[in-house]
Copies of this chain bind each other. A is one copy, B any other.
């Protein structure tokens, strides 16, 4: 069975890894839209357009299930993708919410990019489930992770800057609403002692149980739309596998925004 996974960049590789751990035999195709990362500060219309293009690329490769491994794209584009694609579409928002509903005693924190928080997608679903929600954007977390600053004094101070309010307010559960954030889970857990941390990438993989059969060759293809210096290093850092990424589009094709 062939499963497609896309993200605006490298963060969705945490989801790819969680899916691979749960389904060792399926064939995985990953697309990271590194030419246009980050989606987190784009307008909703732009995020929808980019998401449809990513999905189209994966459909051409014969995928039978699509996983949106990007919270911003899941927040803005999942309805449009479900409407337009002939295969099941799974986002990262709903699985994370279900896990939070399962473990929370009433007050949930959500962190993510500006766009994810502004979209209100987590807040709406959690409130519908009768939970109290406090959401906060943490725009410095992604650059910290991509710079490899995931432990130490700076990481801890930045985590405190964004999350100390949650301690004061007293949430019992925190949803990591961005696929980069699991790499900061160590520091976040120490700052928010006793708070249940929901890692959406694991929640998504569990959610695929009803949709995906663990059959196939166990292959993994990884595509990016632009090359940054560190792609090989980051792919290995996040997935723990040596996968040679393939470059598509990018430098060779026009994409005028005017």
Interface of A is mostly: loop
The number of chain A residues touching the other chain, given as a range, is 35 or more
Asked whether A147 is an interface residue with its Cβ less than 8 Å from the other chain, the reply is yes
Name which residue of chain B comes closest to A157, CB basis: B154
Binary interface encoding of chain A residues 122-156 relative to chain B, with 1 for a CB under 8 A from any of its CBs, else 0: 00000000000000000110111011010001100
Answer whether A251 and B35 are a contact pair too, CB < 8 Å, given A53-B257, A154-B157, A229-B41.
Answer: no
Q: Is the CB of A46 within 8 A of B257?
A: no
Q: Which of B229, B254, B258 contacts A225 (CB 8 A)?
A: B258
A254 CB to closest chain B CB (Å) equals 7
A142 CB to closest chain B CB (Å) equals 8
Residues of chain B within 8 A of A41, CB atoms compared:
34, 228-229
Interface centre among A118, A142, A149, by most B CB within 10 Å? A149
Asked whether A82 is an interface residue with its Cβ less than 8 Å from the other chain, the reply is no
Could you list some 27 contacts between A and B, CB below 8 A?
A: A34-B41, A35-B36, A35-B42, A41-B229, A42-B226, A43-B226, A43-B250, A43-B251, A45-B250, A46-B250, A49-B254, A53-B256, A53-B257, A57-B258, A118-B229, A143-B143, A153-B157, A154-B154, A154-B157, A225-B257, A248-B257, A249-B257, A249-B258, A253-B257, A253-B258, A254-B255, A255-B256
Nearest 4 interchain pairs by C-beta? A45-B251, A255-B255, A249-B257, A143-B143
